[in-house]
Every structure is written in structure tokens, then in C-alpha cells.
């Protein structure tokens, strides 16, 4: 992952007018930004289609690093 560059943002779908200012603030406010996948070093390969039954997918979950689940794989989830 890396902080999205102008080149990354150019690959995004066009933003809706009502969200343009929000995205602009995210891009220009120091200490803020969006993270983009560095596809050259990610080692992720996509293949197949959902209808084929044999395919890969990427499931992204964004959550704070100090998120505490009540149970993880049957064990208490401890945060160091």
C-alpha cells in the first residue's frame, strides 16, 4: 500500500459532483489521503469468473488497528 498519487487518482472512476469537494479535501489536507494498492509488489493475481466457480477475489476490510473483536476463531481476541 502507498499514499495514492495523482496517477492513481486519474485511474478512479469520475467522482460525483456532490462528492468532489470531499475528495479534494482528502487529497489536499496534510496528514490525510487515501491508500492505494501497489500492484507491482502486491503479489496478487486475479483469475477466473464467479460463474466458473474457480476464481480469485480480493476482500478488503478497513478497520482501526485497535479494533477489538469479542471472539476470534473461538479464542479471546487480545490486543497487545
pLDDT in tens, the chain (80 residues): 899 999 999 999 999 999 999 999 999 999 888 889 898 898 888 899 989 989 998 887 776 666 666 555 556 655 55
pLDDT at 40: 87
pLDDT score at 71? 58
Q: In this predicted structure, what is the pLDDT of residue 67?
A: 64
| Residues 6, 18: Cα–Cα separation, whole Å | 20
pLDDT of residue 5: 92
Query: How far apart, in whole angstroms, are the C-alpha atoms of residue 38 and residue 2?
Result: 6
Query: What is the model's pLDDT at position 57?
Result: 87
Amino acid at each position: 500500500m502507498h499514499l495514492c498519487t495523482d496517477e492513481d487518482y486519474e485511474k478512479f472512476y469520475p467522482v460525483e459532483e456532490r462528492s468532489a469537494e470531499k475528495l479534494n479535501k482528502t487529497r489536499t489536507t496534510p496528514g490525510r489521503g487515501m491508500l492505494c494498492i501497489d500492484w507491482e509488489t502486491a503479489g496478487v493475481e486475479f483469475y477466473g469468473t464467479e460463474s466458473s466457480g474457480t476464481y480469485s477475489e480480493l476482500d478488503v476490510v478497513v478497520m482501526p488497528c485497535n479494533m477489538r473483536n469479542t471472539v476470534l476463531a473461538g479464542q479471546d481476541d487480545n490486543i497487545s
